[in-house]
Structure 1
């Protein structure tokens, strides 16, 4: 068995069936009105993230193309991060990533308080120290 095969098996074991039974876009709109981001309705994988995965790679696998806020599957997802700490939070569609920067809606506040990266128990800096991000703030 090759190393790549071992890594893929570890990823499948870690994910299990967590990428199924997710809210649809319409169901996510109802959650949003209730102040809940879509990702809070997703089943989180049990166990530790396989060590060969970065936070962004683990999020890409777990989110399976779905925006963490609205569950839309529109193609490219952007890596959302906290501009104060520099920590990666989750993957958002362009619309939600733009709205997140300006919205204080309860669903965005809940997303910031418990983003997908925290749900996976991961803390990873976005970019590099040369991008102006230092050590994560407390």
Structure 2
């Protein structure tokens, strides 16, 4: 492929993405409005317009989330320098992009807005599925494992971690050494 052909391919993909996104990123709530939504148990992304049609085939799930979220945290609508890829520790599936504060809180919170986010994350809203991977582009888990095996393994690890954490917190509550 020549440089001119590659440049034309990029222009075509950009046009497809712009058509898919349309005006979905316009009119989103401000950070202050997102705080009010949170108090009502609504994550910010639940009031965003979802693009019509299928995600362009050249985009991975994470790329589609990055385009649609346009730099905004799915929970609080903040626009930090970078967003973290949030994923379900039981299934290993990517859920959406969160700021550092919301990503940390998501693992510790049972507030209604976080419950709603987990039930209908941005990936579900867009109809995309992707296993969470390492920073080096590898899927987490042994190679050759089926999706069902990865989900079972991830669930077992989460269950073990929760049991360990519960034991630690119980000792703090009772004062046992």
- Normalised by the size of structure 2, how large is the TM-score? 0.74
CA contact (8 A) 1:78 1:94 kept: yes
* 1:7 to 2:13 alignment: yes
* 1:17 to 2:23 alignment: yes
Task: Give the aligned length.
Answer: 138
CA contact (8 A) 1:85 1:134 kept: no
**Residue correspondence of structure 1 range 30-69 to structure 2 within 5 A:** 30-69=36-75
Which segments of structure 1 move beyond 4 Å, counting only runs of 4 or more? none
Q: Evaluate the alpha carbon distance shift between residue 59 and residue 130 of structure 1 in structure 2; reply closer, same or farther with a 3 A threshold.
A: closer
> Which residue in the other structure is 2:98 paired with?
92
User: Which is bigger in relative contact order (C-alpha 8 A, separation at least 6)?
Assistant: 1
Q: Which moved more, 1:128-137 or 1:31-40?
A: 128-137
CA contact (8 A) 1:86 1:134 kept: no
> Which residue in the other structure is 1:122 paired with?
128
* 1:81 to 2:93 alignment: no
Q: 1:104 aligns with which of 110, 120, 128?
A: 110
- Normalised by the size of structure 1, how large is the TM-score? 0.94
* 1:135 to 2:147 alignment: yes
Q: CA RMSD in A?
A: 1.7
Query: C-alpha separation between the residues in 2 aligned to 1:14 and 1:131?
Result: 33
Query: C-alpha separation between the residues in 2 aligned to 1:131 and 1:78?
Result: 20
Which of the two has higher C-alpha Rg? 2
CA contact (8 A) 2:73 2:79 kept: yes
